[in-house]
Structure 1
Amino acid sequence: MSKNRIMQHLENGDLREHVLDTSTWMDYLDGSTKLSGIVMPGSHDAGMSQTDHCGAGAQLNRGIIQTQTLNIQQQLEAGSRYFDLRVDYDYGELVTYHRTGDAGGNGQSLAAVLDQSLKFIQSHQSETFILKFSHIRTNRNKERDIKDRIDEFLADIKYRAYLFTQSKSDVNLAKIALNDCRGKIILVFDYPEHISARAARFRYHDGFSRDSSGAELVGYGGPNITVCDSYSNTTSLEKMKHDQLKKLDAYGGLDKDYFFLLSWTLTPNIDTFFKGSVKELAEVANLALEEVLKERISEPHKPKPNIVYIDCLNAKTTQSIIQCNF
């Protein structure tokens, strides 16, 4: 369907599922829309579409660490616009990983992640997306070395023209208009080293925190991006659903000065290790998500999330997320 035809559907308020091309869905958003006014699909443990150099446990069941079935470029084409990247330096290269201590394994290399990101944004200039660098591997006491290697890697001139930058160090990305970052990759970091808005390095803050007395604080945590992200840590769909929707109703909503992330993921436990996989859990969660979002769209007074985190991201599930924008 042509863009003009789709825009007519939008104006008439009768857009239905499976209309938008998931690779270019941001093209149909008004350019003045702030990033915090958008509902976007997000990829949990985004680099783990492959499993390499698996350690204890994961050798017996790789399904407990493989969180995605599509690589980064395929996830972008399927509509994801927020990526959770956990990075290690292992076997002579920067890699994504999913581990607890030494148990787990590696995923796509960081070079593959960035090259696929670059290839996508070069051919989809209407889009933008966020790469969040977090969970630097800590059990080998090489965190600073890994962070320095990441910074050096990202300084490659081939990426420079496609990275979003800002002159003001205290910019709040929630307030950036879509037109100002179309065709750009936004890099955010869950650690303080090498942060510079001019050099496309933005600081991530957790929107759920506690003060010195232990009281819970929720909301804007500081420049440059704050995300309220708290997963449910359960294999129970009902427990996860209740927990996440309760948090969404309490703290979510578009056009705030922070982002709310709906963590629609089920977390493997010891039973899953022996007889299950993340993929099986994701199939249950993703199917339920489509129904939940249909209800949410039909109740405009209910707050919407900015980011919906899922495992095994696919175009069918992202369609239900993207529809929340229309």
Structure 2
Amino acid sequence: MGEGGFLNVVNGTPYDWVVTSTTQHKMKSWDAQWQPNGKYLRIPKKGGSSRIYIEWGSGSHPGGDVGIHMEGTDYRFMLHAWSNRGFYIWAEFQTFSVQGYSQGANDQTGLNVNWIHDGDVAFILSGENPGNFFPSNGPIDWMQASLGLIGNRPLRKLCIPGSHDSGMAIKNGSGTIGATSDNSLTQWQNIHGQLVAGARYFDVRPCIGKGNNGNSNEMMCGHYSNTNNSTIKWQGVSGEYIQDVINSVNRFLVDEGNRELVIINLSHAYNTNHDWYRDFTPEEWERVLDMFTNPETGLKNLWKMPKGVPGRDPATAIIWDTPLRDFIAGGPAVVIISEDFRIASDSRFSGQGIFNRSQYDVRNEYSNSDKNDHIMRDQFTKMLKHGFTTDRLFLLSWTYSLQGAGNLIQNLRKKADDVNRSLYTTLPPKCNPQTFPNIIYVDSFGGWRKGERDNGHNSDQGHYSWQGRNMASLAMAINWITSWNDGPGADNTGNALQAQWDSLRNEVKNVQNSMGTFGGSTNQPEYVQLVQSKQNLQSRMDEIRAQERSHYGME
């Protein structure tokens, strides 16, 4: 077998893509992939995708080129598979430019699609025109660069990429017996590397214990689980220091000037200085929150909801209905979600950028499986049955769980690299305005880049799974796909139901605002009439909920 692997092509534009030409030189697998059954390949608009197997032959500089036309437009581009400086794939935009890449660029300055032997790489392009086309490996500040499209969307109608057990790129301290870097670490890159790769939602699990510095009272990230076995007890390791997490976020947002929204979810906090590890006490929770809010050494861009605003208690007001623009139009922002420790209205942390789970409630249900097919079926079923009337956001938990006695010898991050390969072509066709993930949640965010391989520097130093900022590009493609309802995942019935739901929901808000103007005068006829109107509207919303449950087969 020669140098082979897969190219995933994802169409996030409103135009069908039609192959118009192919050429090849000493390729084992190229032309036939773009001409199945003797006809040029067509990739449907608004979420269509194709997984292309590529294999180079032997001899002098094998390679292939394919021309693609966006039907009904003058937009044309080419994908090149070359081997003059190692094996690599790059995109040439012939008649238009995209964010970060100019029209007619060559293989040195054009979009590098990368290459992974026996792996998967992706070419993703979304948007409607050269003014907003968003490509694979797009801008680092992808939120700010796309604010024209997604700025007015509330968080509940936005798709963002996130990482699972985000602080677990290093092993800090000895860990428990049997816990190794291979079977316990979930990320190849630290928090800063994940930010650069496009992650904006972070799963941070604080723990107290003994790290590499030798202090037994250090605050770190942890990845621990209770085996409920009296002999084995707890299993896991500690990761990055919490202060390093803070420093990475500040570096990305302040020092490097990226005006993005970063969401940090805090949960699963354990003190490991005990035979049986225990949950954090309130005092320990306050200690870690003090680290994040410290004026000198804490986060510099916490998004603070002011106290005293009628109807906007910083400890209870929901934030998932807040448009992205409100967070980052004036600069970067960080939001911390305290999942397990409740922030009271009179707490010193209230109004300081720390919010309760109820204010940004996420449905996070992992598949607990080591089978890719099971993870796929389970997560897509949950996504479909999540519906659109719920107040919870949907997190697509695309995570691999080590199973059985083989846990101790498996590499969790390499398994995650394999699982992540399937996201590019399976997720977009299932998305529409009603059904999509608010958070794409993965291990091995961005992959592993041991040795440069970009633009032909073909370094073969062990494991290599580099995906660049493709998770952000995938999220942006989904944000575009959910702008339309006539792609492969279209749902006309669901679309009509959601339109009715959104209209009724806005009417209820208007009625509630009107009720608020009466103060304590609840006996006035006008107020009583408003109460009745609200009840009628809510009854109609209940009817929509019933139709939604029937349509999606919800339990």
Same fold (TM over 0.5): yes
The alignment partner of 1:261 has SS state of strand
Match of 1:214 in 2: none
Post-superposition offset of 1:16: 6.0
Match of 1:90 in 2: 209
Match of 1:164 in 2: 303
Structure 1 residues 287 and 318: alpha-carbon distance in aligned structure 2, compared to 1, 3 A threshold? farther
Post-superposition offset of 1:4: 11
| d(CA) in 2 for partners of 1:191, 1:185 | 19
| d(CA) in 2 for partners of 1:319, 1:3 | 13
Match of 2:115 in 1: none
Post-superposition offset of 1:161: 4.7
Stretches of 4+ moved more than 6 A in 1?
3-6
Structure 1 stretches lacking a partner, 5+ long: 205-222
Match of 2:184 in 1: 65
Higher helix share: 1
Match of 2:42 in 1: none
Structure 2 stretches lacking a partner, 5+ long: 1-97, 104-125, 211-216, 227-233, 307-311, 447-468, 481-555
| d(CA) in 1 for partners of 2:253, 2:387 | 29
1:83 alignment partner AA: F
Match of 1:99 in 2: 224
**Pick from 146, 151, 175: which aligns with 2:284?**
146
Structure 1 residues 115 and 251: alpha-carbon distance in aligned structure 2, compared to 1, 3 A threshold? same
2:277 alignment partner AA: R
* Equivalences, count: 302
Match of 2:327 in 1: 181
**1:190 equivalenced with 2:351 (yes/no):** no
1:1-326 to structure 2, matched below 5 A, reads 2=99, 10-12=127-129, 15=133, 17-18=135-136, 20-30=138-148, 31-59=151-179, 61-91=180-210, 92-101=217-226, 102-122=234-254, 123-137=256-270, 139-141=276-278, 143-144=280-281, 145-158=283-296, 159=298, 161-167=300-306, 168-169=312-313, 170-182=316-328, 183-195=332-344, 196-204=349-357, 223-252=358-387, 257-296=391-430, 300=432, 303-314=435-446, 315-326=469-480
| d(CA) in 1 for partners of 2:425, 2:393 | 23
* Range with greater deviation from structure 2 (269-278 or 45-54): 269-278
* Range with greater deviation from structure 2 (131-140 or 260-269): 131-140
**Percent of pairs identical after alignment?**
22
1:281 alignment partner AA: K
Contact 2:269 2:279 (8 Å CA) reproduced: no
The alignment partner of 1:174 has SS state of coil
The alignment partner of 2:367 has SS state of coil
Contact 2:163 2:199 (8 Å CA) reproduced: yes
Q: CA RMSD in A?
A: 2.6
Deviation per residue, 1:252-299 (Å, 9 max, x gap)? 55x9643110000110122442431211221121001112123235xx
Contact 1:98 1:104 (8 Å CA) reproduced: yes
Q: Considering Cα pairs closer than 8 Å and 6+ residues apart, tell me whether 1 or 2 has the greater RCO.
A: 1
* Range with greater deviation from structure 2 (25-34 or 93-102): 25-34
Contact 2:303 2:353 (8 Å CA) reproduced: yes
Deviation per residue, 1:23-43 (Å, 9 max, x gap)? 434431332221112111110
Contact 1:25 1:79 (8 Å CA) reproduced: no
